[in-house]
Amino acid sequence: MTTRTRQFMKYSHTIGLSTMSGRGFYYPVDTAIGEDDRLYTVSRSLDGDPRGIRVTIYDLASEYFGTFGESGEDDGQMIWPTGVARDTQGRTFVSDEFTNRITVFDVDGDFSHSWGKMGSGAGELDGPSGVAFDRDQNLLVVDHHNHRVQRYSQNGIFLSEFGSFGSANGELNLPWGITASSKGDIYVADWRNDRIQQFSPDGEYLASFGRSGRDDGELFRPSSVAVDPDGYVYVADWGNERVQIFDPDGGFVQSIRGEATDSKWAEAFLEINLEEAAARDRANMEPEIKFFNDDPHEESSHIEKYFWAPTSLKLDSEGRMYVTESNRHRVQIYDKA
């Protein structure tokens, strides 16, 4: 069983391939959906290797359009990219929780400008992670080591902030992902508190749902959240290696463990590596294994189709769901059932 309760979303296809350059991803962490119907996935790569960090451009049909960005600390470069968002002008905003800055690439993928410096004062950053635009097209940045959300103009002028360290309503503990609903409400994946918190457009606390655990409706270290126009909330339940969907009142709707199949890029690899393809065909890709603990991270490391480190969840205007999995170097796509 990979999907429980009623089927709200159904699997469509997978895009991805583990590559350190060009077509594919290397430890991808977030995906932005552009106004041009193209997808922009940022890869974090691995520490100690300058290769792999980039934004890969492609579309729903797996057509590849190129990359931009690279490893480093100079303009247009990144060390620990974490979040990505696109504005209505076709610019790409990437957060970097190592350099503590937001880097903006223009519509051609060239460096435009950046802002941010280490600190805890207003406008300063300590580990910017999730990013999203609010209804006024200002950028919301999860300033996660400062346990708050900061709002900036697109040129990086600090506008406001909300949130502080703690576990009470409205407080945050190492938050990660963020989104703004069509109504303007702001939802934050309150990672260490194992919950999603909902705030008004001005940052006033409204509601919280999810509690710590591994059962349906429970969360363990959620990384990302998205909300559809009907108010349904979709959560990348990172520590449970699954996606969960909640109704507008916070009621549990569906849990998805992952159903990845070979992507077009994967098929292209296997077509020219026939020996590996044949051995893969003969393998049992869903073996029964007794694990020594209940951490689904173990199961996901053995069974390829399951989500493994789902760091990002996004919805497009058609209601499709895109789940970026850093450890599997791919994006799983689901349609409305």
Partner 1 sequence: MVTATKDMQLISHLMRRAGFGVGLPELESLAQNGYNETVNRLLKPTNVQEMTDDLIRRYHHEQSGMMGQNNPGAYWLYKMITTTDPLTEKMALFWHGIFATGYPKITQGKVLNDQIRMFRRYGTGNFRTLLLELSKDPAMIVWLDNHDNHDGAINENFGRELLELFSMGVGNYSEQDIKETARAFTGWTIGNTEYMALRAERDSIWPYGRIAWHFEFKEDDHDSGEKEFLGNTGRLNGDEIIDIICQQESTARFISRHMYHFFVADEPPVPQWPYTPPRDPKAIDTLTQAYFDNDYDIRAMLDILFNSEFFKSEDSWHERVKSPAELVAGILRLTGEFDRPRREILDRSTQAIYMGQHLINPPSVEGWHQGTEWIDTGTLVERLNFASQQMSNVENPGVAEIIGRVIGDGSHQADDSLVQRCLDEMGVTSVSEGTRSILENFAAQNRDLENDATQIVAQMLQMVAATHEFQRA
1 is a site residue for partner 1 (CB under 8 A): no
Contacts 24+ apart (CB under 8 A), 149-155: 149/175, 149/178, 149/186, 149/188, 149/199, 149/203, 150/122, 150/123, 150/125, 151/203, 152/102, 152/115, 152/123, 154/87, 154/91, 154/93, 154/104, 155/113, 155/115
Identity of the residue, 135 or 302, whose beta carbon is nearer to partner 1 in the bound complex? 302
Binding residues for partner 1 restricted to 225-284, rule: CB under 8 A: 239, 260, 262-263, 265-266, 269-270, 273, 275-276, 279-280, 282-284
**What is the distance between the alpha carbons of residues 19 and 307, in angstroms, rounded to a whole number?**
18
Does 73 sit near partner 1 (CB under 8 A)? no
Tell me how many helices (H) and strands (E) the chain has: 3, 29
| DSSP secondary structure letters along 32-58 | EE-TTSEEEEEE---TT-SSS-EEEEE
CB of 336 to partner 1, least distance (A): 25
Binding letters toward partner 1, positions 7-46, x by CB under 8 A: ---------xxx--------x-x--------------x-x
> With respect to partner 1, which residue has the nearer C-beta, 22 or 184?
22
User: Residue 225 or 309: which CB sits closer to partner 1?
Assistant: 309
Q: How far is the CB of 108 from partner 1 (least distance, A)?
A: 28
SS3 290: coil
Q: In whole angstroms, how close is the CB of 274 to partner 1 at the nearest point?
A: 12
Considering only residues 86-105, where is the footprint of partner 1 by CB under 8 A? 97-98
> Going by C-beta distance under 8 Å and a sequence separation of 6 or more, which residues neighbour residue 283?
none
> Is residue 64 part of the contact set for partner 1 (CB under 8 A)?
no
**What is the H or E stretch that residue 297 is in?**
helix 296-302
Binding test (CB under 8 A) with partner 1, winner from 6, 47, 168, 230: 47
Contact flags string 102-141 toward partner 1, x per CB under 8 A: ----------------------------------------
Q: Distance between CA atoms of 178 and 212, rounded to whole angstroms? A: 19
For tokens 């044949």, the residue is 278
* Residue 25 · residue 329 · CB < 8 Å: yes
CB of 51 to partner 1, least distance (A): 12
In the complex, what is the shortest distance from the CB of residue 218 to partner 1, in angstroms, rounded to a whole number?
A: 15
> Sign (positive/negative) of CA torsion 119, 122, 123, 126?
positive
Shortest gap between Cβ of 55 and partner 1 (angstroms)?
16
Interface contacts to partner 1, rule CB under 8 A: 16-18, 27, 29, 44, 46-48, 79-80, 97-98, 145, 174, 176, 191, 220-221, 223, 239, 260, 262-263, 265-266, 269-270, 273, 275-276, 279-280, 282-285, 287, 289, 292, 295, 297-298, 301-302, 304, 308-309, 326-330
